[in-house]
């Protein structure tokens, strides 16, 4: 590595790639966990690589290259969160008058993460979560509600398994400060219990996804709610409107179907955050126009949450076009 590092310090960008390429995908996922946005994660990844390129002369090798890059990425994410906190944002609302929600949740700017981009990350021995838990939408949503410092500490310690001393060095704070922030973050996350989901791509998961698609595209509201757990949620981040329970979800789906009138939905299967998902299209004659993404959270042999992303911009990350025509054949990466 010393030879490669010397070449990179001399301006050899190929050598720099040899140093950093093994960590690019996991660094982007790290930024996504902290920021909740794929676009912001991509931006922070580029900032991280640029800062690393410019700062190679200061890299002393006391920590591994991976740890050094995580230090840069984490602090870039915290800076981005501080900057975004000063920008006013307006959440989208449905194009029809929705029913009264079960609750109005905190505004969270969340995006789905394509399974095709998920890396294999080996966590340290201090990690407290299974890898599958830490990419699920429920987990990503929950950590977005933590203060930025607590969010970063929880990810570094409990998701990636860095030691307290390592996390403290990354954040330029004391180890006591890290442990205090971690204790508060764990307290906030204590109510989050992962759903006992069937295995990815299992027969149970496949059956549920297919039945959901059939009912959803035929506006079969009774068929849809028959697939739900009694306490199922329908959410539409970043909208504040959230609906829980069969009656509330059914009412929203029925009103949505009436708004579409003669237009119908079609879906294209994909995967997001380790979960079955669908690109959603709205028919307009022989054209199907992008209408967002739906991600399913499963519990046993039922659906415990439907997360409906209405921003069509996310679809391109899943290889889904903005328009499909009647004779189009599309085979997204499953």
pLDDT confidence of residue 325: 82
Confidence of residue 12 (pLDDT cuts 50, 70, 90): very high
What's the rounded Cα separation, in Å, for the pair 93 and 20? Answer: 41
What lies within 8 Å, CB to CB, of 271 at 6+ separation is 114, 115, 116, 200, 277, 334
Match 């429920």 to its residue by tokens. Answer: 138
Asked if 307 contacts 241 with a C-beta cutoff of 8 angstroms, the reply is: no
Mean pLDDT (whole number) for 205-223: 96
Give pTM, 2 decimals: 0.92
Q: Is the confidence at residue 207, as pLDDT, over 90? A: yes
Q: Where are the alpha helices (DSSP H) in 105-161?
A: 137-144, 148-154
Confidence of residue 334 (pLDDT cuts 50, 70, 90): very low
Instruction: Look up tokens 């949450």; give the residue.
Output: 305
Give the lowest-confidence range in 16-25, 118-127, 222-231, 273-282: 118-127
Cα 62-67-68 angle, rounded to 5 deg: 70
Q: Which helix (H) or strand (E) holds 241?
A: strand 241-244
At a CB cut-off of 8 Å and minimum separation 6, what does 313 contact?
none
**Nearest-angstrom CA–CA distance, 138 and 307:** 10
**CA 158 to CA 127: how far, in whole Å?**
4
Whole-number Å distance between alpha carbons of 49 and 72: 9
- Rounded distance, CA 51 to CA 75, Å? 11
**H-type helices in the chain, by residue range?**
2-9, 13-20, 24-35, 38-55, 65-84, 137-144, 148-154, 164-171, 175-189, 203-217, 221-225, 246-260
What is the rounded end-to-end Cα distance, in angstroms, of the chain? 36
Cite the beta strand spans of 249-320 per DSSP E: 265-272, 275-284, 287-299, 302-309
Q: Any bridge partners for residue 302, and if so which? A: 299
* 20 in Cβ contact with 70 (< 8 Å): no
Q: So what's the pLDDT on residue 24?
A: 97
Mean pLDDT of the chain: 91
Angle at 42 between CA 7 and CA 288, to 5 degrees: 140
Spatial separation of the C-alpha atoms in residues 238 and 92, rounded to whole Å: 7
Region 239-252: what's the mean pLDDT?
95
Query: Average pLDDT for residues 229-258, to the nearest whole number?
Result: 95
For residue range 75-100, what is the model confidence (pLDDT) as tens digits?
999 999 998 765 556 677 788 899 99
Q: Distance (Å, rounded) from C-alpha 172 to C-alpha 71?
A: 9
Locate 4 and state its tokens. Answer: 């490669």
Nearest to 246 by CA among 304, 189, 193: 304
Q: Hey, what domains does the chain have and what are their CATH numbers?
A: 1-84 (1.10.1740.10), 137-193 (1.10.10.10), 203-325 (3.10.450.50)
pLDDT in tens, 40-89: 999 999 999 999 999 998 898 889 999 999 999 999 999 999 987 655 56
Say whether pLDDT at 247 is over 70. yes
């Amino acid at each position: 590595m010393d030879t490669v590092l010397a070449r990179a310090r001399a301006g050899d960008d190929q050598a720099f790639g040899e140093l950093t390429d093994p960590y690019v995908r996991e660094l982007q996922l790290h930024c996504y966990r902290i920021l909740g946005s794929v676009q912001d994660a991509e931006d922070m990844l580029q900032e991280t690589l640029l800062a690393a390129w410019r700062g190679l002369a200061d890299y002393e090798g006391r920590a591994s290259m991976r740890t050094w890059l995580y230090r840069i990425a984490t602090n870039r994410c915290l800076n981005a969160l501080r900057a975004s906190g000063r920008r006013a944002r307006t959440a989208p609302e449905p194009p029809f008058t929705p029913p009264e929600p079960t609750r109005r949740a905190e505004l969270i700017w969340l995006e789905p993460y394509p399974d095709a981009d998920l890396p294999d990350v080996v966590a340290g021995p201090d990690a407290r979560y299974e890898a599958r838990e830490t990419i699920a939408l429920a987990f990503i949503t929950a950590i977005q509600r933590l203060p930025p410092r607590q969010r970063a500490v929880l990810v570094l310690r409990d998701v990636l398994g860095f030691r307290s001393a390592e996390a403290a060095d990354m954040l330029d704070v004391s180890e006591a400060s890290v442990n205090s922030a971690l204790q508060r973050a764990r307290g906030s996350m204590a109510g989050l219990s992962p759903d006992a989901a069937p295995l990815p791509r299992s027969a149970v998961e496949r059956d549920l996804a297919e039945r959901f698609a059939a009912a959803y595209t035929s506006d079969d509201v009774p068929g849809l709610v028959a697939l739900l757990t009694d306490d199922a949620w329908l959410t539409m981040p970043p909208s504040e409107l959230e609906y829980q329970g069969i009656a509330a979800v059914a009412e929203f789906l029925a009103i949505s179907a009436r708004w579409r009138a003669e237009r119908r939905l079609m879906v294209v299967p994909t995967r997001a955050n380790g979960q079955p998902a669908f690109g959603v299209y709205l028919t307009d004659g022989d054209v199907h126009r992008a209408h967002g993404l739906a991600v399913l959270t499963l519990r046993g042999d039922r659906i415990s949450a439907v997360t409906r992303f209405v921003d069509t911009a996310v679809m391109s990350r899943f290889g889904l076009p903005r328009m499909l025509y009647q004779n189009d054949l599309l085979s997204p990466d499953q």
